[in-house]
Chains A and B, each alone.
Chain A
Amino acid sequence: METQSFSRYGITLLRLRREDNEILRSWRNNPHNAMQMREQAGRKIGQEEQKAWFERIKNSKNAFYFIAYYKNKPIGCLSIKNIDWDDLCGDPGSVFDSDFADENPIIKFCCEFASHDFYFEELKLDFTHTFVKNSNKQAIRYNKFIGYEHLEKFDENGFSYFKLSSNKYFETRNAALLTFRKVYGDTLGL
């Protein structure tokens, strides 16, 4: 699939380009974000390391990385990797400009809904799944809000397994959007 952009809820997702490396690295290296990473938690990523990572993923057939724009401003990166085209599942992730996301929580969730619409409607995945650090209460509440179900499965490094089926996602998204529209529909153009 050659999708380069996808728009929903006032958010435009554009495929990650080489020139996005530095802004993505700055979000990734924000101490708050860095501590929550599953891999290399707390460690800062260098410029060359970021470039090398981009070269590895840029032509991947099993991953999509997008920069999310709101009113033409880049505010975060949404991704899905390790897509299994036989089982129709993948492992989503996101990292945001922390200051923007803190001040604009609804926009942050609109980004999550736009990206998950893409995973379920365009890629036609059956489910998404992810591991979250047991100590990361924020991410656990966040994932549950999107509809992820906590399955009692822990890995040896203290991560829990969460799964989201397409049906559960659409049910949760529709309920959340009803509220968002009621509250901020006119402002956000929802």
Chain B
Amino acid sequence: MSGGGNLPLAGIRVLDFTWVGAGPFTTKILADFGAEVVKIESRKRPDQLRKAEPLTGSRTIEESGYFANRNVNKKSISIDLKHPDAHGVIMALAKRCDIVINSFSPGVMDRFALDYDDIRTVREDVIYVSMPLAGSSGPYRDFLGYGMNIAAIVGLMQLGALPGRWPVGTGTNFPDHLPNPLHAAFAILTAVASRRRTGKGQNIVLSQIDSTLAMFPDGLLDCAANGRVTAETAHSNPQNAPHGLFPCAGDDRWCAISVTGNAQFATFCRIMGKEGLASNPCFATDEARQENLVELHALVAEWTGAAEAHDVMTELQEAGIAAGVVQTAGDLLDEDPHLRARGFWQYLDHPVMGRSVYHGVPAKISGIASGYRSPAPTLGQHNGELPELTGVDPETIARLHEKQVFQ
């Protein structure tokens, strides 16, 4: 069983047509908390992410670290949706599922006769979820894009730009990793709560543009209310100074430092061995430090440049000042004693990839295990469970198998 016995979402079954980005992360979250997720792909059209780097060994569709990380705890059924006999099997599956989810462009599920109204004929109280780029209506309805495209459209990429320079954004497809999957999961759970009270399912549409934008209202509010575009500034936080990433000893090593208020600044100066700065009129008040931020940051960099990032962090934290190493993936996996103590990273044995690392679950819920139950499935790994998943007798399944339905 991929469903988790005593986990909060045990007993909820998800029919998962999502691919690549935000969708598979959504269903992973549901699986993390006990839902049984049945992922639909085919050998003709596997999830594109199965081919995405990093790839191990022979670089087959069973060896993507990207895909594995996002599809842990799930079951895989391979079925050719374009085969004329596939529809009946999918509908039989849907009949036994609480949630049906896809991330296709609008119209695709309709062409497979698998839209909300179709599924409702076999499962009246289904919670049906679509999460296209731009929703189900409007001028951008059929537009396509990846996480970085979404970040660009909603103004998030522009937030990661220094004045007069190209926008670097987060350097990742961030909307796929947190805003969209988490909003989708919340929407689904809200619908589950509603169904418990009313017995009725519903249709959920998540526009990935709408969902990402809802989390980042500040620039929009400033512009709408005050008619101005908030100035682009370097790492600045008007309430703290110094505040930023400072170069440390070693190759490209950095430490974040954020100092609040005069008392903390005095402590900070003492640690730097530059006590005089705290009473220097150029830096003695919040306003003065903001005014002379460039000079202040240069003085801080002088101090950090001679020290190890880790030592800067611990020395400041011991004095109650917010500081943290700019950690690389290597630091996160191999060095950080805190993540290790909390057991954040999880390592699983995959039949083709061998042992590899998976991002963990950032919520520790008392009395609930957060260990993953199974690595990412190989394509079609759970086809043998089709009779149980569909209620169709094994002989019929075998006959369909001979007709090449389960590719």
A, B assembled together = no
Which B residues contact A (CB, under 8 angstroms)?
none
Which A residues contact B (CB, under 8 angstroms)?
none
